[in-house]
Structure 1
Amino acid sequence: MLKEYKKILVAIDGSDESEQAFKKAVQVAKRNDSILYVAHVIDIRAFESVSSFDENLAAEATKIARETLDDYLAYGKEHGLEDIQCLIEYGAPKTVISKQLQKDYNIDLIMLGATGLNAMERILIGSVSGYVARHASCDVLIVRTDIDNKLLPKEKKKK
């Protein structure tokens, strides 16, 4: 029997990969008659490196995230998705996605874009998608292709 996903989470970060994951998540949510949660996690650790933390930086990041999420919301509605909710969260994206949001919203599928990190970046900071795939207690789908199932440019280079 095929599993039906009722609560799907797609995490977006502004990358082309996350946009493709979002577009696929819209299609999966429509097929499953699911709620789609679109989350953007603002990594507050990035602001800690700024010597004089300015709350305006966090406010600006939130404003940009809201505008981006509004665009995604409009896309979902235009493509016939009835139940789509946008979330802005703060913290380490890896744990917020794999633990907090998954638990808080009873998510049964997480969809993420494949990362474009090189080998050194993966060693130093690790891949969000890799961490989520290992630590989430629900199914995780890593998107490597566009809506037409063609490899994304960064994935072509890896081959």
Structure 2
Amino acid sequence: MNDNYQTIVVGTDGSKSSLLAVERAASIASAFDATLVIGSAYYESSEEASKTLRQDSVTVLGNDPAQKNLDSAAEVAKKVGASKIETALKAGTPVQALMAIVNEHNADLLIVGNRGINSLTGRLLGSVPADVARQSDCDVMIVHTVS
């Protein structure tokens, strides 16, 4: 088993806090000379979006805005020094999308922001960072992006 991270996945929803997670992930990817995969989830319809009870992440409707979020996140990652950058779009909830991206890319590290983890709904319904930490087969780093 290689003890260096080779593929790092980070999620973004276009929010300021998720871009802080992207920055942190990019600097780690740069340090390990790892591939950085920036992932974004989107809902295919407002019906799909309204089924989710959680409000801890920005609801991205359709893959156009999601792609724009990925493009700006990739710019941020480049500025921080990541050189091997890929992007991945997935329909579904943020947790489903991130888990799928992690598995498809065989990632060894997943980085997410901490938004929602301390809110009441986060504690009752789970939050993106808490849920991915439970479900992930690879290391998960929760970056302190919201105090």
TM norm structure 2: 0.80
Match of 1:3 in 2: 3
Q: Name 2:106's counterpart in structure 1.
A: 106
The DSSP-based 3-state class of the residue aligned with 1:137 is coil
Range with bigger deviation, 123-132 or 32-41:
123-132
One-letter amino acid of the counterpart of residue 76, structure 2: Y
Determine what percentage of the aligned residue pairs are the same residue.
Answer: 29
Deviations 1:106-156 (A, max 9, x none): 000000000136643125532011010111000000000xxxxxxx5x41x
Q: Which runs of 5+ in 2 are unaligned?
A: 52-59
Per the TM alignment, residue 80 of structure 1 is displaced from its structure 2 partner at its CA by: 3.2
> 2: distance between equivalents of 1:143 and 1:101?
19
Structure 2 SS opposite 1:13: coil
Q: Could you tell me how far apart the structure 2 residues matched to 1:13 and 1:140 are?
A: 18
User: What is the identity, as a one-letter code, of the residue corresponding to 1:73?
Assistant: A
Partner in structure 2 of residue 67 of structure 1: 68
Q: Which runs of 5+ in 1 are unaligned?
A: 51-58, 145-151
Write out the 4+ residue segments of structure 1 that deviate beyond 6 Å after TM superposition.
none
Shift of 1:13: 1.4
Pairwise mapping of residues 1-159 of structure 1 onto structure 2 (< 5 A)? Answer: 3-44=3-44, 46-48=46-48, 49=50, 61-98=62-99, 100-116=100-116, 119-144=119-144, 152=145, 154-155=146-147
SS at match of 1:22: helix
Partner secondary structure for residue 89 of structure 1: strand
Amino acid at match of 2:79: E
Q: Is the 8 A contact 1:45 1:91 kept in 2?
A: no
Q: How many residues align?
A: 137
> Aligned-pair distance for 1:44?
4.4
* Aligned partners of 2:117 and 2:123 also within 8 Å: no
| Paired amino acid for 1:26 | A
SS at structure 2 position matched to 1:20: helix
Counterpart of 1:62, as a letter, is: N
Kindly tell me: are residues 20 and 79 of structure 1, through their superposed partners in 2, closer, same or farther at Cα, counting changes over 3 Å? closer
The answer to whether the 8 Å contact 2:35/2:84 transfers is yes
Counterpart-to-counterpart distance in 2, 1:134 and 1:109 = 14
Report if aligned partners of 1:108, 1:139 keep a CA contact under 8 Å in 2: yes
